[in-house]
Structure 1
Amino acid sequence: MGVTDNIMVGRYIGKIGLGSAGIANSMSFLIASIGMGGLSVVAPLISKAKAERNVPEINRLFRAGIKVSLWFSVILGIVGFVCIYYFRIFQQSPEINEQAPAFMAIIIVSNAFMFVFAAAKQLSDGLSRTYVAMMITVFGLILNLIFNIVLINGYLGFPKMGLLGSAASTLITRILMMLALLAYLFNTKTFKKYLHAKYKSLQTNDLVLMIFKIGVPSGLQFFFEIAAFSLAVIMMGWLGENQLAAHQIAINVASTTYMMASGLGIAGGIRVGEGRGLKNVRKIRFSGNVALLLVVIFMTAMMLIILVFNRILVELYIADNEVIVIAMRLMIVAAIFQLSDGIQVVSLGILRGIADVNIPTWITMFAYWVISLPLGYLLAFNFDMDAIGIWFGLLAGLTASAVLLTVRFYYLIKKMRLE
C-alpha cells in the first residue's frame, strides 16, 4: 500500500508530496509495527495447535487474536494521534509540516482495519492456507491503485483530493480487505469447523494475556528495526527535500523485497511451530535451514535486479534529475544490504516459531539503536557523507542483526538436541 501510494504521489504531485506521504507512511507503519509484529506470533501458535489436533484451542487463539487486534487499534491509535499533534518536533520543512499530518491521520485510522485483517490472517496462515490472504491482498493492491488514480486526480465525478486522496484510497482498501477476509473465513468449509459457535463459551482471556506477553516483545523487534528506518527518514529531512525524496524511493524498493522475505520468515515460523508441536527437533532445524536457504537465493536475485535496473526503478517514481542522482547512489547500498535484510527477518520468524522473543528483542535494539542510527548520524553529519552515510549505518545494523539472530537460532537448536 505504501509503495503504491508513494509511486502515485511522486508521479502526480511531485517531490514535496512524495516526501510528505513518505514520512507519514513511515511514522504510521512504525507505530503499527508493534501491533503487526505482536499479532504475528499467533500463526505459529495455531500451527502448533494444529499439529496437536486441538481444534478448540485454534478457535480460542483466533478469537483472542481478534481481541488483541482491537486493543492494539485503540492503544496505538492514541499514540499515532499524539505524534500527529506534536509533528513539528520532527523538524521537517514547512511544506511537509503542513501536508503530512492530515495524510498521517487517515493512515492511522486505516491501521485499525489492518490490525483486524492481520489477526484474521493468522488463522489461514497458521493452517498453511496462506494463499487466502495473498489473493485478497493482490485484489486490494489493484483496488488501491485504481482508487489512488481516481481520488488524487478527481476522476469519475469524485472531488480532486490530491495528496489526501492517496491516504483515503488506503483507508477504503483496508476496510474492504478486512471484510473480504472475514467473510471468506466464516463462509468456507475449510475454516468453518474452527469457527463453530459451539466454542463460543470457551474463555480467551488467558490467551489474550499470553499473546500480549510474547507478542509485545515480538512487536518491539519490528519496532526497533522500522524505527531505525523511520528516524533515517527524519534525518534525511534535515539534509533536504531532495535527499528525503530520494531516500523514500530507495527505501520503497528495499521494503518491497523485505516484505517478500518476511513472507519466508512467516512461513518458516509456521513450519518451525509445527515441529515444536510435534516435539521434533530435526523438523525444527530442517524448516529453519530451508527458510534461510530460500531467502539467501531470493535476496541474491533481488540484489542483482536492483543493480541492473537501478535507474529504471528510480524513474518509476519521479522525473526530477537531482532526486534521481541521489536515489541511484542509495539504491546501490540497498542492493548490498538485501542479503542481511533477508536473513535477519527470516531468523526472527523462525525464532518466533519456537517462542523465543525476549533475547531477539535485545539483539534488534542493539543492532539498530546502538550500531545503525549512531553510525549513520556520524557518517552523514560529522563526516559529511550526506544521505549515503545514513544508509551505510543501516547496512551495518542489518548485518549485525542478521549474524546475531542466526547464531541465536542454531544455539537454541543445539541446546534442544542436548536436552
Structure 2
Amino acid sequence: MSTFRTYRAEFVDTLRLSVPIIIAQLGVVLMGVTDNLFVGRLLGAVPLGAAGLANSLSFLMSSIGVGGLTVVAALVSKAHSQNDAAAVNRLFRGGSRVAMLFSMVFGGLSVLLAFNFDLFGQTAEVTKLARDFMLMLSLSLFPLLVFVATRQLADGLRYPRVAMAITMSALGLNAFFNYVLIKGVGPFPELGLMGSATATLLSRLFMAGAMLAYVYRSARFRPYLLKAFSNLPTTDEVRTTLRLGIPGGLTFFFEVATFSLAVVIVGWLGEDRLAAHQIAINMASVTYMMATGISSAAAIRVSAAVGKSSREGAFRAGVAAFMLSVGFMSLAAVLFLTANDWLVSLYIRDSPDVMRIAASLVIVGGFFQLSDGVQVVALGCLRGLSDVNVPTIITLFAYWVVALPLSYVLAFPFKMDAIGVWIGLLLGLSIAAVLLTVRFFRRLHRFDQTLISPQTSAGVH
C-alpha cells in the first residue's frame, strides 16, 4: 500500500509538470500540422509535399540547437533544488548566449541547404517550392531558439504553464495567418505556399517576444534576475551548456535526421508517396512531441533528485515517466490502428491514391508508438543524470546504422515501397528504446556522489 501511495504521488507530480509541457510541445507540432492542413486543403498534394520536405529539413538544421538547449532546464532544476539563485541566473544568461550562437550557425546552414536543394533529387516543382519555403523558415530560426532558451528557465523552475499559454496563443495566430495569407483574404496579399511560411515566422516572433516579456516582468522570476547577478561571468555556464548540449542535441539530430532523410527516400518513390508520408508523419509527430513533454518532466525531476543526491528519488521519477509514456502511447497506438482512414481524411480528400497509401503508413506508425515513447523518455531520464555521450552513440547506431539503411533496402531492393521505409524506422526506434532504457537503469545502479561531480557531469564514466 505504501508503494502505491509513493508512486501515486510520483504520477501526480510528473503529470503536474508534464501536462503543460505536453500542451506546449503539442502546440509547436500543431503549427506544422496546421501549415500542412491549410496547404493540403487549399493548394493540393504537390505543395503539401514541398512544405513537408522543407519543414523536415529546416527542423533538421535546427535540431541540434533545439535539442541542445533542453539541457538548460535540467541544470536550472538542479541549481534550484540546491537553492542557488545565482547559478540559475548564470545558466539562463549562458543558455541565451548559446541560443544566439546556434541561431547564427544553424540558420546559415539552413540557407546553404536551401540553395542546394537539387541534391535531394526531387521533382523540379517540389524543389522550387521547397527552396523558397525553407529560406523563409531559416529567418524564423532565431526567434524560435530565443523562445526555447527562455522557456528553459520557466520549465526548470517548474513554471511550464507560461510556455504553454504562449504557444497555444501562437498556434491560433499561425492558423489565422495561414488562412488569410495563402489565398489572400481581405486586405492581406495572396502569397500561396509562402503565405504558410510567413505565418510560421510571425508566430515564432510572437512566441519569443511574449516569453521574454513575461519572464522579465513576472514577480516569479525576479529573484533570479536581480541586478546583482547581471555582472556575474557566464563563461563556465556557456561551456557547460555546449559540453552537455551538443551531444544532447546530436542525439536529437540523429533521430530527426533519420525521419527527414526518410522523407527524401519516400520522395524518390513519387509525389503521391511523399504527400502520404507527410500526412502520416505529422500524426506520429503529434504523439511523439507529447511524449517529449513527459521526457522533459523526467529530465527536470531526475535532475532535481540528483541535486539532492537522492538515488531513490531519481529512480521513482524515471519509473513514473516510463509508465505514463507507455500508457499514453498505447492509447495512441489503438487510435492509429483503428481510425487510420478517418485520420487521413482530416488532411486530404481529393486524392484517393494518397489517402490509401497514407492510411497504410498510419497503421505501421501505430506499431512504433510504444518504441518511440519509451526511447524519448529514456533520453530525458539520462539527460537528468547529465549522461549524454553514450546515448548519442546509441542513437547514431539505432537510426543511422540500422533504421536508414534498412528503410532504403526494404523500399527499393525488396520493393516494399513506402511501407518498407516505415518498417525500417520501426526497427530503429525499437533498438533505441531497449538500449537507452537499459542504460538508464544501469546508471542508476551505479549512482553515487561521483555522478554529480563536475568532472563527470558530461556523462563519461
TM-score, scaled to structure 2: 0.90
Per the alignment, residue 187 of structure 1 pairs with 217
- State the Cα distance separating 1:417 from its structure 2 match: 6.0
Per the alignment, residue 38 of structure 2 pairs with 8
Task: Give the partner amino acid of 2:428.
Answer: G
* Local SS of the residue matching 2:444: helix
* Local SS of the residue matching 2:231: coil
* Local SS of the residue matching 1:63: helix
Per the alignment, residue 268 of structure 1 pairs with 298
- State the Cα distance separating 1:99 from its structure 2 match: 0.7
**Unmatched tracts of structure 2, length 5 or more:** 1-30, 451-461
Alignment partners' CA distance in 2, 1:142 and 1:399: 35
Per the alignment, residue 343 of structure 1 pairs with 374
Per the alignment, residue 19 of structure 1 pairs with 49
Q: Which of 384, 397, 412 lines up with 2:428 in the alignment?
A: 397
**Unmatched tracts of structure 1, length 5 or more:** none
Give the direction of change, closer, same or farther, for the CA distance of 1:118–1:418 in structure 2 (3 Å limit): closer
Aligned counterparts, 1:156-167, within 5 A = 156-167=186-197
Per the alignment, residue 391 of structure 2 pairs with 360
Aligned counterparts, 1:188-207, within 5 A = 188-207=218-237
Per the alignment, residue 147 of structure 1 pairs with 177
Alignment partners' CA distance in 1, 2:338 and 2:357: 17
Alignment partners' CA distance in 2, 1:156 and 1:134: 31
Task: Give the partner amino acid of 1:379.
Answer: L
Alignment partners' CA distance in 2, 1:199 and 1:344: 38
Q: Which of 199, 203, 208 lines up with 1:178 in the alignment?
A: 208
1:235-294 CA deviation, whole Å, 9 max, x = no partner?
111000000000000000000000000000000000000001000000000000000000
Give the direction of change, closer, same or farther, for the CA distance of 1:162–1:352 in structure 2 (3 Å limit): same
Per the alignment, residue 21 of structure 2 pairs with none
- State the Cα distance separating 1:308 from its structure 2 match: 2.2
Alignment partners' CA distance in 1, 2:332 and 2:154: 28
TM-score, scaled to structure 1: 0.99
* Local SS of the residue matching 1:37: helix
Per the alignment, residue 374 of structure 1 pairs with 405
* Local SS of the residue matching 2:139: helix
Q: Which of 198, 212, 225 lines up with 2:242 in the alignment?
A: 212
Alignment partners' CA distance in 2, 1:74 and 1:155: 34
* Local SS of the residue matching 1:258: helix
Alignment partners' CA distance in 2, 1:332 and 1:415: 40
1:143-182 CA deviation, whole Å, 9 max, x = no partner?
1011100111101211100100000000000001110111
Alignment partners' CA distance in 2, 1:105 and 1:309: 36
State which drifts further: 242-251 or 104-113.
104-113
Q: Which of 113, 122, 137 lines up with 2:167 in the alignment?
A: 137
* Local SS of the residue matching 2:205: helix
Is 1:303 aligned to 2:333, yes or no?
yes
Aligned-residue sequence identity (percent) comes to 50
Alignment partners' CA distance in 1, 2:63 and 2:259: 12
Alignment partners' CA distance in 1, 2:174 and 2:227: 34
Q: Which of 57, 73, 76 lines up with 2:103 in the alignment?
A: 73
- State the Cα distance separating 1:196 from its structure 2 match: 1.6
- State the Cα distance separating 1:198 from its structure 2 match: 1.6
Is 1:243 aligned to 2:273, yes or no?
yes
Aligned counterparts, 1:30-49, within 5 A = 30-49=60-79
State which drifts further: 301-310 or 258-267.
301-310
Is 1:232 aligned to 2:274, yes or no?
no
1:178-205 CA deviation, whole Å, 9 max, x = no partner?
1011111111111111112221110001
| Matched-pair contact (CA < 8 Å) for 2:309–2:449 | no
Runs of 4+ displaced beyond 4 Å? none
1:104-154 CA deviation, whole Å, 9 max, x = no partner?
011111011100000000000001111110111111111101110011110
Task: Give the partner amino acid of 2:365.
Answer: A
Per the alignment, residue 107 of structure 1 pairs with 137
Task: Give the partner amino acid of 2:303.
Answer: G
Q: Work out the number of aligned pairs and report it.
A: 419
Task: Give the partner amino acid of 1:31.
Answer: M
Alignment partners' CA distance in 1, 2:233 and 2:42: 51
Alignment partners' CA distance in 2, 1:50 and 1:165: 43
- State the Cα distance separating 1:418 from its structure 2 match: 11
